[in-house]
């Protein structure tokens, strides 16, 4: 919805008749079948990484369809995946990644958006979606499993502790 508002459009989630039934069906399916699966660390990280990559593709594609500048396309991909990632974290009873040491979360979003844009202008939408999803998922999962901290400014940790 935030992406649509930034693009000056009516939020599709409110005006589209198909969103609520699909969300309800996915919620019920997930509640009955996937709780034990996603309560484990690695499967949760993999599913979240894939979801983030798909959200990047949705955000970038919507911006591309409306002919906005390059920076706005990247912003829409990052914004869509950030808000979607927060929703995933909150619904799965995790602390939202944007409010904690996010293990390259922002980096995965930016690089995934750049990969989507680069592949979209040179190849097909579906190839770009797969490329962005794999890029974001691999970066996010690898950084979380190896406990890589998010990049920081020099001396930022010293300034924060004072």
Delimit the domains of the chain by residue range.
40-161
Distance CA 84, CA 19 (A): 15
Distance CA 139, CA 104 (A): 7
Distance CA 109, CA 124 (A): 20
Global pTM value: 0.75
Distance CA 6, CA 4 (A): 5
- The residues, any chain, with a CB within 8 Å of residue 73's CB and separated by 6 or more, are 60, 63, 64, 113, 117
Distance CA 70, CA 65 (A): 12
Residue with the larger pLDDT of the pair 14 and 74: 74
Distance CA 39, CA 91 (A): 12
Residue with the larger pLDDT of the pair 108 and 14: 108
Residue 52 reports pLDDT greater than 80 = yes
Percent of the chain with pLDDT over 90: 22
Mean pLDDT on 44-49: 85
Distance CA 73, CA 59 (A): 8
Which residue in this structure is represented by tokens 């930016």?
110
Distance CA 65, CA 76 (A): 12
């Amino acid at each position: 919805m935030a992406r649509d508002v930034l693009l000056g459009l009516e939020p599709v989630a409110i005006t589209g008749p198909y969103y609520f039934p699909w969300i309800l069906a996915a919620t019920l399916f997930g509640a009955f079948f996937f709780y034990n699966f996603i309560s484990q660390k690695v499967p949760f990280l993999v599913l979240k990484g894939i979801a983030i990559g798909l959200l990047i593709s949705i955000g970038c594609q919507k911006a591309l369809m409306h002919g906005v500048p390059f920076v706005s396309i990247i912003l829409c991909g990052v914004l869509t995946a950030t808000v979607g990632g927060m929703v995933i974290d909150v619904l799965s009873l995790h602390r939202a990644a944007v409010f904690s040491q996010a293990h390259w979360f922002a980096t995965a979003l930016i690089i995934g958006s750049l990969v989507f844009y680069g592949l979209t202008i040179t190849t097909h939408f579906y190839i770009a979606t797969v490329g962005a999803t794999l890029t974001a998922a691999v970066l996010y999962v690898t950084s979380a499993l190896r406990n890589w901290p998010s990049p920081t400014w020099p001396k930022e940790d010293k300034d924060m502790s004072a």
